[in-house]
Structure 1
Amino acid sequence: MIAPPSAVPPYWTRLGSFFLYPLSIEPLLACAAFGLLSALATMLFSPADLLLELLIFIATLRHGYRVLERTARGHLDDSPAFDAAAGGGKYRPYKQLVVIAVGLTICAYVAAIAGYHLAMVLFVLFALVLPANVMVLAVTDDLGESMSPGHLWALMYGIGRPYLGLCACLLLLTSSSGGLLKLLMPIVPQALVGLLAGFFGAYFIIVMFRLMGYALYQYHDTVGLAVDVDFERQTTIGTGEDPAKRRAAQTAALLKEGRYDEAIAVARAELGEQPGDPAGNLRLHRLLLAVPGQEKAMLAHAAGWLPGLLQAGRTHQAIEVIEAIWQQQADYLPAQGSCILPLAEAFLETRRPQGAARLIKGFDRRFPGHADTASIYVLGARLLIEHQRDEAQARRVLAAIRAHYPETPAAAEAARLNELLDRLAATPAV
């Protein structure tokens, strides 16, 4: 698959910037700290040195995930704004270790049962899928989604052939730290080897995560990722004169001081000036999610924002909003009946049948006589056929659609689905 052209310059034209990124202030200080801790580890006795090295690795991964997510969301100016609001994700390194452990365990099991060669094929496939796993985990913080074949394939297929180039770059970077350290060993004092090993290890991990974050940003439209900053705004973001940039920095400072109500007020003021601004709405939504006691305000904001997202065709972002709300309020459903059908269809298209079923359940009782009722019934029948394998119940639903809504497009779709079921039933079982 060849991904559609993007306004964002391809990642392979920006490779130099990824190597320069860890030399900016925040990541450079992090690399230096990890280097000093690694030097300290060489002075300890086992197993204390091994434990400290593991903690350093976990801390490096955590910083890398922050870099990846911030880059994927469009913060190419490296601003730390809103890191305070993004308090989640501290368990991502542990989830990553679980994924690696599961993958290696499966490979070892296959080696024991089916032989070395098949296990090596499986190991190569695991290595190819691992970058996709890292990227999905960075933006969802969900271990299950990051291991879901459907989500991983959707991301790899969305990026297309450039995903293989990304894997090749990451493979080269993986061995770069050890190679560089080996070159320097003859001229570096032994006392500095631990420090350089920690520094270079952190440096190349940050380069890799920056590269993956940028690749996600490049293909965010294709893979359905909502970003904070569109590429068209990048040139204004870095000037220091952009009001949205100043408000983001002001909000981050207020959050760090624990002045949550004032931070929310700043975000609301920004929306008051630009009600339809995608970045401003997303910023307020995340704030209301992160600050305790703002559940009602979050739902009120979502009620006004979701219809606009759907009208603008930003269904993937609408899905993210709904799923984020469900994590805090499992029984939430949009109050507007007109939102249910497009949202449920988007959930189904992105291989989230449970979410689609959750949205349409009881639709006819909540919105009696609604114009979308027949289409909702058709979607329910599709769920019964495609995901629950309950063809008998699906036939009853399809018959009811044709009986009660005979002149609608939904009745024609119901007839088509019924014919499909008849053909499937007539097909001899293999």
Structure 2
Amino acid sequence: MASHQSTTRGRAPSKPPEIPPFWHKLNAFFLFPFQSKPLVYALFLSLCALAVTVSPLIAFFTLLGILLATARYSFKVAAMASMGVMRSADYDSTASDPGWTYLPWKFLGVLVVHGLVIGFMARASEGLADLGSLVSSLLIPATLMVLIQSCSLRSALNPAELLRAMAAVGWPYLLLCVFMLLLSMGMPMAWALLVPLAPKTLIAPVLMFVVVYFSWVTASMIGYVMFQNHQKLDIDLVKEPEEAVSGTGQGRPENPVAKLARERDAEVATLIREGQVREAYDFAYDWQRVNPDSLADQRRYHRVLLLTDKKDTLVWFTQKYIQSLLKERKGQDALKAHAATLDKVPDLVLESAELTLELAHLAWKSLDHKHATALLKGFDKRYPRHPAIPQAYELISRILHQGLGRTDQALTVYRVLKERYPQHASTQEVGWLLRDHTGEAVATAPLRSA
């Protein structure tokens, strides 16, 4: 470790390399499915389509299985590319997120919600339905980005998260939508060209290969756009831009810190895949103990902790990890870390009232009302006589009234707040917020707004 640290000490920070825009890399996207591993996998999935001629029932389950496998690999391709891993040969040495497995179903859930909204709009007028379809199409790339980052259906339906992804990409987002439209149009054109040339017995595999091919081209492009904007999207790379973009092997060497993190991630991922969770834990623990300020080591240790039964250690370390993330302004990662621990330890209580309130504010701003409510539940009992209690009541009132539409419950909270803290600024803020429902005369708006 000492020798590693000596290689980076005293080095002047260099300007991050320019990553070419995605429209300069179109050839790479179209060639990705022809890399050895995805090509073999695509051929295998295509040949499975031969079973569709056996019976309608077998055809249904075969097509469902092929499409599910294609979608899962598509999300993996995009997720790996977003972290700078552009070659499929490097996938085995890079840790993957188990949550990626369920992304096809969550994306299907998003499409169902979009369809229901468009159907509702169609009842009003055909023009509104067309507008809804257009908006849905424009949201698809952002939806995929949010799903890959968060693995959360709720986040993928959250307008704030979608706008954040679109804003991170900027005006090229519209160009990305255009290229995705062209790819969707290219699939039937490829079918029309290839089907007349294919033997009758191979028509089904040819059609399926085209579906798989265009799916993985699209995934490669989406992942690259995320990689190109990784800083704005708060994505931690496992391969530095020089190596991932150059493709020549003659660029500058990979950053030693990033390389070390990638190698450690791969080592731990291999141990976990082999069922050696105890060994993975020992390595992850030692690394974060030696490098207590390394977010990469903390993230790895937290993920391994989630796989163990060390709940007390998990609760203690989660709080330290969240504080480190907030210090680096990685609020969304902090919320994800808390949510993952909360799933493992439903009675999780953070020791710090300030930390709890800060996370609740972040969840509220992300429109994650369920998470914010879970953080604030029983706040006054968990932190008795704490000066932040009125602020927690204020936030609860906002969530109930503005977020969940439960104004009656918000009024109940306001009455308690008014009784216990009649002169507090938070009481005045909630009184102004609920002024149309309390019947109280409020002369002016408070000077501050949460």
Q: TM-score range by the shorter chain?
A: 0.7 to 0.9
Which of 99, 118, 130 aligns to 1:120? It is 130
The aligned runs of 1:44-193 (5 Å cut-off) are 44-76=54-86, 78=88, 79-81=90-92, 86-104=97-115, 107=118, 111=122, 113-114=123-124, 116-185=126-195, 187-193=197-203
CA contact (8 A) 1:73 1:229 kept: yes
User: Which one-letter code corresponds to 2:289 in the other structure?
Assistant: G
Determine whether 1:28 maps to 2:39: yes
The corresponding residue for 2:371 is 355
Q: Which runs of 5+ in 2 are unaligned?
A: 1-15, 244-251, 443-450
The corresponding residue for 1:394 is 414
Residue aligned with 2:367, SS: coil
Change in 2 beyond 3 A, CA 1:239/1:155: closer
The alpha carbon displacement at 1:61 in A equals 0.7
The corresponding residue for 2:262 is 245
- Distance in 1 between residues matched to 2:17 and 2:365, nearest whole Å: 22
User: Which one-letter code corresponds to 2:105 in the other structure?
Assistant: Y
- Distance in 2 between residues matched to 1:58 and 1:348, nearest whole Å: 34
Determine whether 1:366 maps to 2:382: yes
The alpha carbon displacement at 1:107 in A equals 4.4
The corresponding residue for 1:316 is 332
Residue aligned with 2:98, SS: coil
Change in 2 beyond 3 A, CA 1:129/1:93: same
Change in 2 beyond 3 A, CA 1:267/1:180: same
TM-score using structure 2 length: 0.76
The aligned runs of 1:270-289 (5 Å cut-off) are 270-289=287-306
The corresponding residue for 1:11 is 22
The alpha carbon displacement at 1:85 in A equals 5.7
Change in 2 beyond 3 A, CA 1:308/1:141: closer
The corresponding residue for 2:322 is 306
- Distance in 2 between residues matched to 1:285 and 1:233, nearest whole Å: 29
Residue aligned with 1:242, SS: helix
CA contact (8 A) 1:62 1:90 kept: yes
The alpha carbon displacement at 1:156 in A equals 3.8
The corresponding residue for 2:236 is 227
CA contact (8 A) 1:364 1:373 kept: yes
Identity of aligned residues (%): 26
- Distance in 2 between residues matched to 1:326 and 1:233, nearest whole Å: 38
User: Which one-letter code corresponds to 1:394 in the other structure?
Assistant: Y
User: Which one-letter code corresponds to 2:23 in the other structure?
Assistant: W
CA distances 1:312-368 after superposition (whole Å, capped 9, x unpaired): 222211111111112222221222334122212211221123323332333344334
Determine whether 1:211 maps to 2:228: no
CA contact (8 A) 1:85 1:255 kept: no
The corresponding residue for 2:207 is 197
Q: How many residues align?
A: 412
- Distance in 2 between residues matched to 1:241 and 1:351, nearest whole Å: 33
CA distances 1:31-80 after superposition (whole Å, capped 9, x unpaired): 12222223x23653444334322321111011112222333345446532
Change in 2 beyond 3 A, CA 1:371/1:62: same
Change in 2 beyond 3 A, CA 1:192/1:381: closer
CA contact (8 A) 2:52 2:58 kept: no
The aligned runs of 1:382-421 (5 Å cut-off) are 382-383=398-399, 385-387=401-403, 388-389=406-407, 390-391=410-411, 393-394=413-414, 396-397=416-417, 400-401=420-421, 403=423, 411-412=424-425, 414-415=427-428, 418-419=431-432
CA distances 1:272-291 after superposition (whole Å, capped 9, x unpaired): 343222222222222222x2
- Distance in 1 between residues matched to 2:230 and 2:70, nearest whole Å: 25
User: Which one-letter code corresponds to 1:322 in the other structure?
Assistant: H
- Distance in 1 between residues matched to 2:332 and 2:187, nearest whole Å: 37
- Distance in 1 between residues matched to 2:111 and 2:401, nearest whole Å: 35
- Distance in 2 between residues matched to 1:421 and 1:104, nearest whole Å: 35
CA contact (8 A) 1:395 1:418 kept: no
- Distance in 2 between residues matched to 1:52 and 1:238, nearest whole Å: 45
The alpha carbon displacement at 1:400 in A equals 4.1
Segment of structure 1 superposing worse, 96-105 or 19-28: 96-105
Change in 2 beyond 3 A, CA 1:330/1:83: farther
User: Which one-letter code corresponds to 2:236 in the other structure?
Assistant: V
- Distance in 1 between residues matched to 2:175 and 2:240, nearest whole Å: 22
User: Which one-letter code corresponds to 1:386 in the other structure?
Assistant: Q
Change in 2 beyond 3 A, CA 1:58/1:402: same
Change in 2 beyond 3 A, CA 1:143/1:337: closer
Change in 2 beyond 3 A, CA 1:401/1:232: farther
Change in 2 beyond 3 A, CA 1:125/1:370: same
CA contact (8 A) 1:254 1:263 kept: yes
- Distance in 2 between residues matched to 1:354 and 1:272, nearest whole Å: 34
- Distance in 1 between residues matched to 2:329 and 2:367, nearest whole Å: 18
Ranked by relative contact order (alpha carbons within 8 Å, sequence separation 6 or more), the top structure is 1
Residue aligned with 1:68, SS: helix
Residue aligned with 1:90, SS: helix
